[in-house]
């Protein structure tokens, strides 16, 4: 759970560490899974994802300018926050307004966060970040752009750190979980403790001193910053949802037991449990492969997971979490939404009788059966479960975004050439009319240009 930060030599929390090897990526992936096994979804990894992306873009800006200033400024901030072991939120998704217009074209300029003033001391920013996970209970917010920017959008290209108590910052948030309800009903044992809150952050002329500004105006780097963050983040999501999968696997097996069934003997239950395992471990495997085929940034030592495998893993978990819910319900039976609620547990009129007739496996007390059922309800059939599924589907980008990235990064060109070679050889051997040798100029397939890999002859995406 810790690692040595290469720029400072200090041992730091792995979830605020900058990766410099494939091993770092794999360790981070496992660390996230472990934390999420306990918590359902530990948002601490957002800190990691953003810091690694900012490290990469800082080096790129410095390389483009021939300076070292951005990297130095970022490292100073990084070491300070690592020493204090801060949790940082990611304020990325702007309110966006009319989707058909670019940031500078919006009717309401606050639809995207932007710089309203620059001085020797720092910048002043205004605008709305619409979906900020954990906003009310982090130490600071990392403000980041959420899209490509063009020259006219330069004022909207800003990345900086803002403490939560900065003057001018207002956070409008739903309560984490449904606390009112919980106190009354004694339910939702898990989400009561680990429920999440997402906030809308309204910045109204918030001042940020230069030492906390990582870029402001360098619009041409926005796309890469977004891409790097998304790749790190999708990789982390894989570990997170694998931890969630572990909770469902364990709870599902417990529930079978409490219902009096052994999946080892009841093949229809085993089929379901194996499907749950297969879903969980197959998207986790994509995280492992993304680590193994990770590569150092061309501009610095930061290691980034392979984008194809990261996006595939995220795409799988995003769409299959609904199947995970289905399986958890299948193996549990209908009782997770039908049995009496906790307010009946102590009802002197009925508690003893219910407790006797509603046990199913004579070896398991009713209390364990009902607690396990409520745990599964909490994870999959109430507001917490709804949050998990929607955030898996859309958090870190929608499925459509994943697919775009997979297509953009996949070496289709090298596969096309492979088949062209086979066809040419085969036809030559056959004496058939020779297909014209492939003329790359006529290719219309967009990323048909040689893939990343084919020059060095490797066969797997992302391998050096």
Q: In this complex, which beta carbon is closest to its own copies, that of residue 4 or of residue 427?
A: 427
Smallest distance from its own copies to CB 338, Å: 4
Q: In this complex, which beta carbon is closest to its own copies, that of residue 137 or of residue 210?
A: 137
Alpha-carbon dihedral of residues 155, 106, 112, 177, nearest 10 degrees?
Answer: 180
Q: How far apart are CA 109 and CA 145, in angstroms?
A: 15
Alpha-carbon dihedral of residues 367, 371, 374, 378, nearest 10 degrees?
Answer: 170
Secondary structure E strands in 362-420: none
Q: In this complex, which beta carbon is closest to its own copies, that of residue 190 or of residue 303?
A: 190
Alpha-carbon dihedral of residues 240, 245, 250, 254, nearest 10 degrees?
Answer: 130
Length of the chain: 464
* CA dihedral (368, 373, 377, 380) positive or negative: positive
Q: How far apart are CA 141 and CA 145, in angstroms?
A: 13
**Residue 408 phi, psi (nearest 5):** -65, -35
Q: Going by C-beta distance under 8 Å and a sequence separation of 6 or more, which residues neighbour residue 339? A: 358, 370, 373
Structure tokens at 85: 């072991």
Q: In this complex, which beta carbon is closest to its own copies, that of residue 145 or of residue 385?
A: 385
Q: In this complex, which beta carbon is closest to its own copies, that of residue 151 or of residue 265?
A: 265
Q: In this complex, which beta carbon is closest to its own copies, that of residue 62 or of residue 257?
A: 257
* CA dihedral (68, 69, 74, 79) positive or negative: positive
Q: In this complex, which beta carbon is closest to its own copies, that of residue 153 or of residue 377?
A: 377
Smallest distance from its own copies to CB 133, Å: 8
Q: How far apart are CA 402 and CA 123, in angstroms?
A: 34
Smallest distance from its own copies to CB 370, Å: 9
Q: In this complex, which beta carbon is closest to its own copies, that of residue 124 or of residue 189?
A: 189
**Residue 294 phi, psi (nearest 5):** -65, 160
Q: How far apart are CA 306 and CA 79, in angstroms?
A: 26
Smallest distance from its own copies to CB 4, Å: 21
**Residue 127 phi, psi (nearest 5):** 130, 180
Q: In this complex, which beta carbon is closest to its own copies, that of residue 116 or of residue 412?
A: 412
Smallest distance from its own copies to CB 443, Å: 7
Q: Going by C-beta distance under 8 Å and a sequence separation of 6 or more, which residues neighbour residue 362? A: 260
Q: In this complex, which beta carbon is closest to its own copies, that of residue 108 or of residue 119?
A: 108
Given the DSSP bridges, would you call strands 140-143 and 158-163 parallel, antiparallel or unpaired? antiparallel
Smallest distance from its own copies to CB 211, Å: 29
What is the CB neighbour count within 10 angstroms for residue 8?
Answer: 14
Smallest distance from its own copies to CB 119, Å: 26
Smallest distance from its own copies to CB 170, Å: 6
Q: How far apart are CA 15 and CA 138, in angstroms?
A: 14
Given the DSSP bridges, would you call strands 140-143 and 88-91 parallel, antiparallel or unpaired? parallel
Smallest distance from its own copies to CB 237, Å: 13
Smallest distance from its own copies to CB 452, Å: 14
């Amino acid at each position: 759970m810790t690692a040595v930060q290469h720029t400072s030599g200090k041992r730091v929390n792995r979830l605020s560490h900058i990766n410099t090897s494939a091993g770092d990526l794999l360790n981070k992936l496992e660390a996230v899974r472990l934390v999420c096994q306990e918590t359902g979804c530990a948002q601490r990894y957002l800190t990691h994802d953003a810091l690694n992306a900012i490290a990469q873009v800082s080096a790129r800006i410095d390389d483009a300018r021939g300076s070292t200033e951005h990297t130095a400024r970022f490292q100073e901030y990084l070491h300070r926050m690592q020493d204090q072991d801060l949790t940082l939120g990611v304020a990325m998704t702007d309110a966006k307004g009319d989707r058909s217009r670019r940031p500078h074209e919006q009717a309401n300029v606050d639809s995207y966060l932007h710089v309203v003033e620059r001085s020797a001391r720092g910048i002043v920013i205004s605008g709305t970040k619409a979906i900020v996970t954990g906003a009310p209970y982090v130490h600071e917010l990392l403000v980041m752009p959420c899209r490509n920017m063009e020259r006219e959008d330069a004022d909207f290209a800003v990345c900086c750190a803002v403490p939560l108590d900065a003057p001018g910052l207002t956070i409008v948030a739903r309560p984490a979980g449904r606390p009112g309800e919980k106190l009354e009903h004694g339910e939702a044992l898990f989400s009561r403790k680990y429920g999440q809150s997402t906030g809308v952050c309204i910045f109204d002329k918030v001042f940020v001193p230069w030492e906390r500004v990582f870029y402001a105006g360098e619009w041409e780097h926005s796309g890469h910053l977004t891409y790097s963050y998304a790749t790190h983040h999708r990789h982390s999501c894989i570990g997170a949802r694998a931890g969630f999968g572990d909770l469902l696997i364990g709870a599902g097996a417990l529930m079978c037991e409490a219902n009096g069934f052994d999946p080892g003997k009841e093949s229809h239950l085993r089929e379901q449990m194996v499907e749950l395992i297969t879903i969980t471990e197959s998207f986790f495997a994509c995280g492992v492969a993304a680590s193994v085929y990770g590569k150092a940034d061309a501009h610095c030592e930061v290691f980034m997971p392979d984008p194809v495998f990261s996006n595939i893993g995220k795409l799988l978990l995003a769409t299959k979490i609904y199947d995970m819910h289905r399986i958890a319900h299948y193996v549990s039976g209908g009782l997770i939404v039908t049995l009496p609620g906790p307010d009946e547990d102590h009802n002197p009129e009925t508690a003893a009788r219910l407790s006797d007739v509603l046990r199913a496996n004579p070896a398991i007390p009713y209390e364990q059966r009902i607690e396990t059922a409520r745990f599964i309800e909490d994870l999959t059939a109430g507001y917490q479960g709804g949050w998990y599924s929607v955030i898996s589907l859309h958090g870190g980008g929608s499925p459509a975004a994943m697919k775009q990235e997979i297509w953009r990064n996949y070496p289709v060109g090298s596969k096309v050439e492979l088949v062209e070679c086979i066809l040419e050889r085969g036809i030559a051997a056959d004496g058939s009319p020779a297909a014209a040798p492939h003329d790359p100029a006529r290719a219309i397939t967009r990323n048909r240009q040689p893939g990343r890999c084919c020059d060095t002859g490797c066969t797997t995406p992302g391998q050096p």
